[in-house]
């Protein structure tokens, strides 16, 4: 028996997949698929796509939830290590080694940050370089949230060029292209391998003061990966230098402009450079695609598992707040503060706290967000019970515990159910954000749709989530009517 258990454990360890992460933009999705396709020929490999920004995906790497992901040397130097200058691969590895990470496999292209304008507008204003922007303080900027917050992004760029612009509100990278085409903004941040630069006839402004460092595409990995996955690592090393800038732009265009999936775009690495056929995404085929039932199950699990935990804790907390007046403000204040924490910040904190990404930290976050309506409605329902009803219960000689559970809680039940219904509906929407930490659900499609600026994929995630919210609300309202009818029927019995 013991030997069989050891063999089973050994087999489970041998079957452990190589976990590849990626960020939430087109190129990172595609590179993640390329890595999985290459490694999967030698070892089982799985992709954890769209894990938010650099902070979240690096937190997942530190926690051991992923084994490696595609990154850029400039981002590693400036955003992760906070190094000055333009360090090379050897210097990056020396700085990363104490943390248990390394950089390897130069994929073959550089994808730098840059600012761009519509060529027609730039020509009219005589703008060719970043220095020229300082002469036009009335220009309207639209910058991505990550670029605004990065050390090698907007704050440093503004200081280096003494740009006379206030920091703008964040604008999603995919949406910024539509905004600049519609002349809603005039300057946006881009990646130099973006496929839409040519399509939207943008002028990439020269970095004449050489502010941006090289952003060479590499693999950022845990140092134990080559030993744990030797066959997969050898397969990944064969990608060295295989992706030039032209090929990367072609693959980005396949996803963003030609309607191909990230998997199909990644497969073009081994295809020719000829023109690619545009594939029009049809809404119904995307909506009921092969991932529909998996995403539905994941979304239901996220919503109802977290809701059950919130009910189990929220109702007792509401009772405590109603029965112990001194505790009311601390309890209600605590659950109120939790509700104000930005979701992505809470997800990043929970990844570091629990040491993993995916379903577990997402369930914790949703559980915390669902507490406020349940606690408040339970407290309000109990406090709102009339003094006459309380005195009647006392006149029956019931002890406090029985008065609470046999009289007061049933009277407060409509209010409690209303709070639970509110939490359930809110959780359906909030659960879509869990896709940014690899928890799945309909948010996977929403994240992909935002990355591609593809309304079909976006709606294929948003509409099922909205439909589920309506179904949940309808189910609770039916239950409330059913409960009310049963309660009235009992009350009419002789």
Stronger pLDDT, 390 or 40, i.e. the higher one? 40
Q: Residue 491 — very low, low, confident or very high, per pLDDT cuts 50/70/90?
A: very low
H/E run at residue 417: helix 409-430
Are residues 242 and 166 both part of a single domain?
no
Q: Residue 383 — very low, low, confident or very high, per pLDDT cuts 50/70/90?
A: confident
User: pLDDT per residue over 321-357, tens digit each?
Assistant: 988 889 989 999 999 999 888 887 888 788 878 878 8
Are residues 342 and 473 both part of a single domain?
yes
Buried b / exposed e over 382-410, threshold 16 CB at 10 Å, is: beebeeeeeeebeeeeeeeeebbeebbbe
Does pLDDT of 9 surpass 60?
A: no
Q: What is the spatial distance between Cα 337 and Cα 18, in angstroms, rounded to a whole number?
A: 38
Are residues 340 and 480 both part of a single domain?
yes
Are residues 398 and 254 both part of a single domain?
no
Are residues 48 and 142 both part of a single domain?
no
Total count of domains within the chain:
3
370 in Cβ contact with 307 (< 8 Å): yes
Q: Residue 11 — very low, low, confident or very high, per pLDDT cuts 50/70/90?
A: very low
| Residue 230 belongs to domain with CATH number | 3.40.190.10
Does pLDDT of 489 surpass 90?
A: no
Are residues 82 and 165 both part of a single domain?
no
63 domain-assigned: yes
User: pLDDT per residue over 151-165, tens digit each?
Assistant: 888 999 999 999 999
Q: For residue 334, give the nearest of 318, 311, 312, 355 by alpha carbon.
A: 318
Q: Residue 462 — very low, low, confident or very high, per pLDDT cuts 50/70/90?
A: very high
Stronger pLDDT, 132 or 278, i.e. the higher one? 132
Q: For residue 218, give the nearest of 17, 31, 66, 38 by alpha carbon.
A: 31
206 in Cβ contact with 128 (< 8 Å): yes
Q: Of 204, 228, 249, which residue is a domain's last?
A: 204
Query: Is the pTM higher than 0.85?
Result: no
**How confident is the prediction for the chain on average, in pLDDT?**
87
Are residues 94 and 124 both part of a single domain?
no
End-to-end CA distance of the chain: 64
pLDDT reported for residue 16: 86
| Residue 334 belongs to domain with CATH number | 1.10.3720.10
From 44-58, 292-306, 343-357, the region with the lowest mean pLDDT: 343-357
Tokens of 249: 């732009």
pLDDT reported for residue 273: 59
77 in Cβ contact with 213 (< 8 Å): yes
Q: Residue 149 is part of which domain span?
A: 113-204
Are residues 400 and 432 both part of a single domain?
yes
84 domain-assigned: yes
Q: Of 155, 171, 204, which residue is a domain's last?
A: 204
Q: What is the spatial distance between Cα 238 and Cα 224, in angstroms, rounded to a whole number?
A: 19
4 domain-assigned: no
82 in Cβ contact with 70 (< 8 Å): no
pLDDT reported for residue 402: 76
192 domain-assigned: yes
Are residues 103 and 124 both part of a single domain?
no
User: pLDDT per residue over 265-291, tens digit each?
Assistant: 999 998 765 555 556 678 888 888 888
| Residue 169 belongs to domain with CATH number | 3.40.190.120
344 in Cβ contact with 436 (< 8 Å): yes
Tokens of 293: 């039932």
User: pLDDT per residue over 65-124, tens digit each?
Assistant: 999 999 999 999 999 999 988 899 999 999 999 999 999 999 999 999 999 999 999 999
From 136-145, 169-178, 181-190, 331-340, the region with the lowest mean pLDDT: 169-178
419 domain-assigned: yes
CA dihedral 209, 210, 212, 218 (to 10 degrees): 170
User: pLDDT per residue over 409-453, tens digit each?
Assistant: 888 888 899 999 999 999 999 999 888 888 889 998 888 888 777
Are residues 302 and 318 both part of a single domain?
yes
Are residues 224 and 305 both part of a single domain?
no
433 domain-assigned: yes
Are residues 267 and 159 both part of a single domain?
no
Q: Residue 186 — very low, low, confident or very high, per pLDDT cuts 50/70/90?
A: very high
Helix (H, G, I), strand (E, B) or coil at 243: coil
Q: Residue 230 — very low, low, confident or very high, per pLDDT cuts 50/70/90?
A: very high
Provide the 8-state DSSP code for 436: G
pLDDT reported for residue 170: 87
- 3-class SS letters over 232-258: HHHHHHCCCCCCCHHHHHHHHHHHHCC
287 domain-assigned: no
Share of the chain above pLDDT 90, in %: 56
Strand order in the sheet with 141-142: 141-142, 187-191, 113-118, 202-204
Q: Of 172, 204, 236, which residue is a domain's last?
A: 204
118 domain-assigned: yes
What length does the chain have?
A: 494
């Amino acid at each position: 028996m013991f030997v069989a258990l050891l063999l089973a454990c050994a087999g489970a360890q041998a079957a452990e997949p190589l976990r590849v992460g990626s960020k939430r933009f087109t190129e990172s999705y595609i590179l993640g698929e390329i890595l999985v396709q290459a490694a999967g020929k030698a070892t089982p490999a799985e992709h954890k796509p769209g894990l938010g920004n650099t902070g979240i995906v690096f937190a997942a790497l530190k926690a051991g939830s992923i084994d490696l992901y595609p990154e850029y040397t400039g981002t590693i130097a400036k955003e992760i290590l906070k190094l000055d200058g333009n360090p090379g691969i050897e210097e990056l590895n020396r700085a990363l080694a104490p943390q248990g990470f390394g950089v390897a496999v130069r994929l073959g292209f550089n994808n730098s940050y840059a600012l761009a304008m519509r060529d027609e507008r730039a020509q009219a204003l005589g703008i060719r370089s970043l220095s020229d922007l300082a002469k036009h303080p009335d220009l309207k900027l639209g910058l991505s949230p990550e670029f605004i917050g990065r050390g090698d992004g907007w704050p440093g760029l503004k200081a280096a060029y003494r740009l006379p612009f206030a920091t703008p509100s964040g604008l999603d990278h995919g949406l910024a292209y539509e905004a600049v085409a519609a002349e809603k903004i005039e300057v946006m941040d881009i990646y130099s391998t973006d496929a839409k630069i040519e399509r939207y006839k943008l002028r990439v402004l020269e970095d004449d003061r050489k502010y941006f460092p090289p952003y060479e595409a590499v693999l950022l990995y845990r140092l134990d990966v080559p030993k744990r996955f030797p066959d997969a690592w050898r397969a990944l090393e064969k990608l060295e230098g295989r992706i030039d800038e032209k090929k990367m732009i072609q693959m980005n265009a396949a996803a963003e402009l030609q309607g191909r999936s990230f998997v199909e775009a990644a497969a073009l690495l081994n295809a020719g450079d000829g023109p690619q056929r545009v594939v029009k995404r049809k809404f119904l085929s995307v909506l009921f695609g092969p991932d529909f039932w998996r995403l539905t199950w994941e979304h239901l699990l996220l919503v109802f598992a977290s809701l059950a935990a919130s009910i189990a804790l929220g109702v007792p907390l509401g009772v405590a707040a109603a029965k112990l007046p001194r505790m009311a403000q601390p309890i209600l204040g605590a659950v109120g503060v939790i509700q104000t924490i930005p979701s992505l910040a809470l997800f990043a904190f929970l990844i570091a706290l629990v040491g993993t990404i995916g379903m577990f930290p997402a369930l914790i976050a949703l559980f915390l967000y669902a507490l406020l309506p349940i606690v408040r409605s339970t407290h309000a329902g109990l406090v709102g019970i009339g003094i006459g009803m309380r005195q009647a219960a006392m006149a029956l000689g019931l002890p406090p515990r029985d008065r609470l559970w046999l009289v007061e809680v049933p009277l407060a039940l409509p209010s409690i159910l209303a709070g639970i219904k509110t939490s359930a509906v809110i959780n359906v929407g909030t659960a879509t954000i869990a896709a940014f930490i690899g928890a799945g659900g309909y948010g996977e499609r929403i994240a992909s749709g935002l990355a591609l600026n593809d309304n079909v994929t976006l709606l294929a995630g948003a509409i099922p989530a909205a439909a589920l919210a309506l179904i949940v609300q309808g189910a609770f309202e039916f239950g409330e009517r059913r409960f009310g009818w049963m309660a009235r029927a009992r009350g009419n019995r002789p």
